[in-house]
Amino acid sequence: MEKIALITGSKGGIGSAITSQLVDDGYRVIATYFTGKLECAQQWFDENNFKSEQVRLFELDVTDTEQCAERLAKLLEEEGTIDVVINNAGITKDGVFKKMSAQSWKDVIDTNLNSVFNVTQPLFATMCEKGGGRVVNISSVNGIKGQFGQTNYSAAKAGMIGFTKALAAEGARSGVTVNAVAPGYTMTPMVEMMKPEALDYIKDQIPMRRLAGTEEIAKAVGFLVSDAGAYITGETLSVNGGLHMQ
């Protein structure tokens, strides 16, 4: 029976790679896009050569608690089940804390952390009732070690890890696993636009002397949601080339 995965932030570099990985693994993917951005989402869909039976575009503002509750309840009625939730939506609004605006703090927390509640909560009970499911939260190495100029981002990504551990304890006896993947620096289209000297500086900090490929992050997610990952829960899988070792 075909399994269905919901992915937030699906249009980004890592999100696109996860979508492609799960499609290759036989999942039908519900790919969320921000309210009013259908044209942009459709362009992404076409550029990746997805088919309608593989990927369904789904309008959702992950920062809107009420909208998420209503639209995800309707989605469950339409699809019958959601087997996998990948919380990948995220933004950055970097700046030193002394000068950080309250809005920059709120926007990052809302998009990166509150969204995890908004998207997971309407679907988690159903997963438990049917006796199985997977939740994977895309955190960050900076949620583990912290990063100068990213108090908002690091706080949100660290919060995702705490959320992962606590929810894993609730889901375990029902066969629902909850894990996090914490990427290090990854070669997304945005990173590719950086100046070569800036990229070289970043690579020099990484023991493996390179950035992760988006497909490497996607394969880590694919493993955690597969049958092979069924006995792993409450864990954070770091994919950072040795940048930070615990």
Question: Of 173, 166, 163, 178, nearest to 225 (Cα)?
Answer: 178
The CA-based dihedral angle spanning residues 18, 153, 82, 79, taken in that order and rounded to the nearest 10 degrees: -90
CA 204 to chain centre: 27
Distance CA 25, CA 20 (A): 9
Q: Return the biggest CA–CA distance within the chain.
A: 53
Distance CA 10, CA 230 (A): 24
Is 33 tagged catalytic?
Answer: no
Burial 166-203 (b: 16+ CB within 10 A, else e): ebbeebeebebbbbbbbbbbbbbeeeeeeeeeebeeee
Q: Of the residues 33, 153, 201, 231, which is catalytic? A: 153
**What residues are labeled active site?**
153
